[in-house]
Structure 1
Amino acid sequence: MTRNVPSLPAALALAALANAAPLPVSAEVGSRAEAIYQSHCAACHAPENIMVSSPKLNNAAQWRERLAPGLDHVIDRAVKGFGAMPPMGLCDACSRDDIEAAIRFMAAPALDTPIPAD
């Protein structure tokens, strides 16, 4: 039996979200979100990628600006695609919940403050 255990940074990010996020946080969700980030999101959202204007992993200021219209708005754009963001981040196997988990993983520091309701 293999157990999925999130990395320490992912576990800390998920712990920070526990009070602010309605999404149930579990080791399985955290490891899935991190895996989605690594395989589909990091190409544009990695902090070292300065060639695109996407909000970067754990950059609270960039994510707060992007989340200003509300989390559901950002999720809808990620699911449907917007500008340079391809629909579903080109993750054909992802569900809307997976996309939400990946966004919450990337935006964890920005989620320490309330997000306006849509």
Structure 2
Amino acid sequence: MSKPRYQLKAEFFKTLGHPARIRVLELLGEREHAVAEMLPEVGIEPAHLSQQLAVLRRANLVKTRKEGSNVHYSLTSPHVAELLRVARTTLSGVLAEQAELLADLQAAQGERHPRA
């Protein structure tokens, strides 16, 4: 018996639920990268980056290409980059609404407690 779609989606989003993996996917959304290129951009230890890349490989979100001693990573689908763009747009909207609410609350507080 196969897993329900909602459970598969939850597992997919769990895979995305790590800042280093998100950063890797953002970088790969721009272009293919060698591991050595990603290290300074992701800002984690090489062994930790290797672990995160393995998680993304197992989830079939990235693929590898070997060139000499270098391993290059790329996205398996442009939809991954599109998903991250949609997430960024959604997050920007949420943060803008929160900033507006905060400004309203601060204005209301200023009306109740005028400064001398």
Which structure's residues are more often helix, by fraction?
Answer: 2
The structure with the larger Rg is 2
The answer, yes or no, to whether TM exceeds 0.5 is no
Which structure's residues are more often strand, by fraction?
Answer: 2
TM-score of the pair, normalised by structure 2 = 0.29
Say which structure, 1 or 2, has more relative contact order (CA 8 Å, 6+ apart).
1
